[in-house]
Amino acid sequence: MRRVLPWLSPLLASALPCQCFVAGGGSTLSLTPTTPWYSGDDEGLSAPLPLGFAFPMAGAASATWSHVVVDANGVLYLTNGGPAVGTPLFGAQNGVDDFRGDAGDSPRIAPLWADLWAGAGWSITANASVPGQFRVTWNNVEDVGSSSSMFSLSATLFATGEVEFAYTPTTSLYPYGYIGVAIGNGVGTGIESPDDLIGGGDSGTLGLLYGEYFNDPDEPEFSGKRIGITPNGTGGFTAIATCAPAAHTSYGAGCYTYQEAREALYQLFPNVAQSFAALPAGSSIQFTIAGPGSYLVSNGGGSFVPPSFGAVVLPLSDDDQEDVTPSIPFPHANGTSYAVLSVCSNGFVSMAPSGVNPNGTGGSVSRLLDAPAPSFRSQRDYNPAPAASGKVKVEEIPIGGAPTLVVTWDGVFLYNTTTPETFQFQLNLITGQVTIVWQLMTAVTPPTSRPLLVGLAQGNSFDPGPIVLATDLPQLTSPDVELLPLSLSAAPAPVIAPSTTVTFTIGNIPEFLPGSGVHLATLFFSVGTLPGVDLGFLGAPGCEAYIASLDLNLAVPLSATPVASTTLTFDNLSFAPGDVVYAQAIALFDPAFPLANGENAFGLTVSNGVRSRTDTF
């Protein structure tokens, strides 16, 4: 194991301590009554107090805030020197609506937004003596109706945008209270549900995160704890309870998530006139397996084989499917051999039993792309149910010396017409080659449009765009190209009783050079966090920094796979209970060989952040 403790000791001196509640100190505030009939001790607001730093809040009306207004009822309002806007009396009576406020209302930070009363020795103090921190403490307050339960609470704002709430033990809460952070200004919709801030809530992209706590025979969940609320990097907030078991928490997201579909292939003919002109009698296309997940699609190569007297007529009605079991499982390019296929009356053969692929009606690009199972299609709205209509027939015959499953639409009517069309699928049960042959396509325009979709569905593909069969073949399809974001995780929890060796695992590391088999990453630690700073200025747009400084670098061994790991020992010599450190991984690649999205000129990707909080349990 690499010795890193001498580096950590001085760095962690500035990490957040975690004795569950520390007396706030600082100056006692004077509150101005908000009504003529209540004292400032009960319903009062402070003057705007300078924080001493710019407090960032993503998505708020202002990017940063310089002042705070303190409310006797356990909430802070952020301003830029002016008075607070949107300050209800008697605490938060309306839950989420009070956090949202109205348009123009100030952001609010609430360690316990309730109807608080002044207890014996009551005071509110503000302490800005630690650079980059501003702590407000409500000392010896009582919740209305529970005079026997006096407690204290605090809210600390950090220059990073983090907030930490702390509470002395209390036995009751009456009748309710709210905890959380919101950017105000009417954020959200008003139907947002409360989150479990003790269990680790996250508001996603919404600048509103709150918890709701009711009177209970037992002490409130927050009693004797701290709650840290951190910008999550996507415009919202995430919460974590401290003075709780040691834990790692992931926040933010790595770069990049990128997918490019080349598997699906299709042409949509919007009407019979176009399909008749493009698919004369005897025309065909073939799908030949060319590698894992890949087909070579080419024109020609097939001839129509009239159904024999022994062909089985499938009992298909309108928009219907029937299962077919070939003598040999059909081999697909995706590596799976399918023992049961299904035939849809509307012109496609699916690699799954009936009911998995929706029947659909006419040719639909969205249904092809969203298909949950692979299929081959000459899809149009057909109806073999009328007595006069031709039928869909299945038989297994040798073609080119190989057993072949042949599925023929033998003069099947277009829906709501007496107009027949004839075509067939030939599925080679040895090679997996599929041939579609068109024998009779109509030029008779039906009463309504009958689009025809010809192509290959691979199951939940992205749209690669249409092709023109006559001019764009041959074409080689390939599996979806997928670039997953660099990821970072840590385990086990950093318990310092007396020590724990934690493994930090980095996943989805790109190759440094294509085909080299070399994956290069490194890991940085910091005692500070960031709300997500885009690294476009370095040439890595879409990648965000989540740590405030590069305080410690742990080298990660070169890996022959996209996964690598390194370890760090957390012990009680270098860490105290409640110390918090932040980690983020970086992976490098040669920018001369761009990633799939082609947007990164620097040759660097980054992971999500991991917040590690130590404790003795």
Instruction: Write the DSSP string, 103-155.
Output: TTPPPEEEEEES-EEEEEEEEEEEE--STTEEEEEEEEEEETT-TT-EEEEEE
* CA 405 to chain CA mean position, Å: 42
In contact, 569 and 500? CB cutoff 8 Å: yes
* Complete DSSP assignment for 307-337: PPTTPEEP---TT-EEEE--SSPEE-TTS-E
Helix (H) or strand (E) holding 298: strand 294-299
Longest dimension (CA), the chain: 100
In a domain, 250, yes or no: no
Pair type for strands 226-231 and 163-167: antiparallel
User: Residue 141's pLDDT is what?
Assistant: 84
Is residue 327 located within the same domain as residue 438?
yes
Q: Residue 8: inside a domain, yes or no?
A: no
Task: Please tell me whether residues 439 and 523 are part of one structural domain.
Answer: no
| Last residue within a domain, chosen from 427, 460, 481 | 481
Between CA 206 and CA 184 the distance in angstroms is 11
| Overall pTM > 0.75 | no
Are both 474 and 510 inside the same structural domain?
A: no
The answer to whether residue 188 is domain-embedded is: yes
Last residue of one domain, picked from the residues 443, 460, 481: 481
Burial of 453 (0-12, 13-18, 19+ CB in 10 A): buried
Domain membership of residue 249 (yes or no) is no
Check residue 397 and report its DSSP letter. E
Q: Are residues 508 and 383 in the same domain?
A: no
Q: Is residue 14 part of a domain?
A: no
Burial of 40 (0-12, 13-18, 19+ CB in 10 A): middle
Q: Please give the C-alpha separations between residue 609 and each of 219, 548, 551, 558, 561, in angstroms, as whole numbers.
A: 33, 11, 15, 21, 22
Q: Which domain holds residue 506?
A: 484-613
Per the CB < 8 A criterion, the answer to whether 87 and 79 are in contact is no
CA-closest candidate to residue 583, choices 484, 490, 486, 500: 490
Using alpha carbons, select from 64, 145, 74, 72 the residue that is nearest to residue 107.
Answer: 64
CATH number, domain containing residue 575: 2.60.40
Q: Which two tokens stand for residue 430?
A: 């040895």
Give a yes or no: residue 167 inside a domain: yes
Q: Which residues of the chain have pLDDT under 50?
A: 1-18
- Report the alpha-carbon distance of residue 99 to residue 106 in Å, rounded: 10
Three-state SS for 84?
coil
Asked whether residue 4 is assigned to any structural domain, the reply reads: no
Examine the domain organization and report whether 232 and 168 are in the same domain: yes
Regarding whether 84 and 26 lie in a shared domain, the answer is: yes
Distance of alpha carbon 306 from its chain centroid, rounded? Answer: 51
Of 211, 242, 273, which residue constitutes the final position of a domain?
242
Q: Note the pLDDT of residue 7.
A: 38
- Do 503 and 451 have their domain in common? no
The number of beta carbons lying within 10 Å of the beta carbon of residue 169 is 15
* Cα–Cα distance measured from residue 607 to residue 255, given in angstroms and rounded to the nearest whole number: 6
Radius of gyration (C-alpha) of the chain in whole angstroms: 33
State the pLDDT at residue 13.
Answer: 37
Same domain, 120 and 87: yes
The total domain count for the chain is: 3
Tell me, yes or no, whether 537 and 577 share the same domain.
yes
**Residues near 110 by beta carbon (within 8 Å), at least 6 away in sequence:** 74, 75, 76, 92, 99, 155, 178, 179, 180, 181, 210
Residue 197 lies in a domain: yes
Given this model, what pLDDT does residue 355 score? 78
Beta bridge partners of 55: 65
Residues 249/200, Cβ–Cβ less than 8 Å: yes
In this structure, are residues 273 and 445 in contact, taking their beta carbons and an 8 Å threshold? Answer: yes
Q: Running DSSP on this structure, what letter comes out for residue 484?
A: P
Report which of 159, 370, 141, 123 is spatially closest to residue 266, judged by C-alpha positions. 370
Question: What are 265's two structure tokens?
Answer: 């292939």
Say how many residues make up the chain: 617
